Amino acid sequence: MRDITDILRVMPHRYPFLLIDRVLEMDASSIRAIKNVTINEPHFLGHFPEVPVMPGVLLVEAMAQAGGFLLFSQVEDRQDKLIYFTGIDNCRFRKPVIPGDQVVFEVEILAKRTNFAKLHGRALVGEDVVCEADMMSAMGRR
């Protein structure tokens, strides 16, 4: 298990855009990470004030960050690099995510070359899949 201090050592993201809170499990090809959704997050001020729903694009970004943590963990000189989102396929949103939910991201590497990767991710709240997507990324210099 990796906590937020471990995540901050690996990831270039910071508040308000660091969207994973803890890594539960990780091996060379997959990761399980969590995001605790709270009403204090800035996007809930406008999305939507009376019915707060986590924006789908932020769910996908959080899923991609979990995959990014997995990929960055395998790179020694990561301080000089960034991982760029290059594509997304087969994205589906199944249920809304609201404050109080804990989202578990399960991401696996489908294919990987030196600077490119294709990943499949699922976001779950409890037993329910709330989002899933195939994501592509490229690693480049900062």
Give pLDDT tens digits along the chain (142 positions): 999 999 999 999 999 999 999 999 999 999 999 999 999 999 999 999 999 999 999 999 999 999 999 999 999 889 999 999 999 999 999 999 999 999 999 999 999 998 999 999 999 999 999 999 999 999 999 8
Collect all residues with Cβ–Cβ distance below 8 Å to 86 and sequence separation of at least 6.
116, 136, 137, 138
CATH number, residue 42: 3.10.129.10
Whole-prediction pTM value? 0.97
Report which of 85, 87, 90, 83 is spatially closest to residue 115, judged by C-alpha positions.
83
Active site residue 13: no
Q: How many domains does the chain have?
A: 1
Given the residues 13, 43, 47, 120, the one annotated as active site:
47
* Residue 55 domain boundaries: 4-141
